[in-house]
Amino acid sequence: MSRLSSIVIHCRDPYVAAPFWSLAFGLPPVAEDRTKLATHSLDPSESVLLRDPSSRLPDVWVSPIGDDIDARGRGLVHIDLQLDDLSELDALVNAGATRMWEVAEPHRWTVMTAPDGILFCAHHPRLAPH
């Protein structure tokens, strides 16, 4: 039986995208990539690997794609995050995400953009009161 082993997120700039997705997924960059991010020494086509060996989560590769992201801010993958608490929305904003709009029915989620412009959805139990 097959199983999901990794997700690849194509982005414009891995120096912006990798730290954001690391926080969003709770997966740290592997040591080598953490060093390359800190020293700005990734090769132009080099991906960043987010991995927690103690977790059952799949690996996440943050891979540069240049300008091949469509006008709606969609790359080659669409991410939906499940949040446990509304404070996690604020953490995503503090990490560089932007709230685009919120949907209350039939499900509750906020459409957001990651720091590099990629759209994603944050599903949550309740919308904050306005």
- Split into its structural domains, the chain has a count of 2
Q: Give the range among 86-90, 94-98, 102-106, 109-113 with minimum mean pLDDT.
A: 102-106
Same domain, 104 and 47: no
**Token match 């991906």: residue?**
47
Q: Distance between CA 4 and CA 95 in Å, rounded? A: 27
Please enumerate in sequence order all residues whose Cβ is within 8 A of that of 112, keeping only pairs 6 or more positions apart, or say none: 92, 97, 98, 99, 100, 119, 120, 121, 122
Q: Which domain holds residue 3?
A: 1-66
Q: What is the mean pLDDT of residues 89-106?
A: 87
Q: Which of 14, 1, 23, 6 is nearest to 95 (CA)?
A: 23
Both tokens of residue 88? 């996690």
Domain-embedded: residue 57: yes
Instruction: At 20, give phi and psi (nearest 5°).
Output: -65, -50
Specify the 3-state DSSP secondary structure of 71: coil
Q: Is the pLDDT of residue 78 over 50?
A: yes
Q: Do residues 104 and 129 share a domain? A: yes
With cut-offs at 50, 70 and 90, classify the pLDDT of residue 38. Answer: very high
User: Whole-prediction pTM value?
Assistant: 0.74
56 and 86 share a domain?
Answer: no
pLDDT, position 130: 38
Q: What is the mean pLDDT of the chain?
A: 84
Q: Is residue 73 part of a domain?
A: no
Asked, for residue 71, whether it belongs to a domain, the answer is no
Q: What is the DSSP letter of 22?
A: H
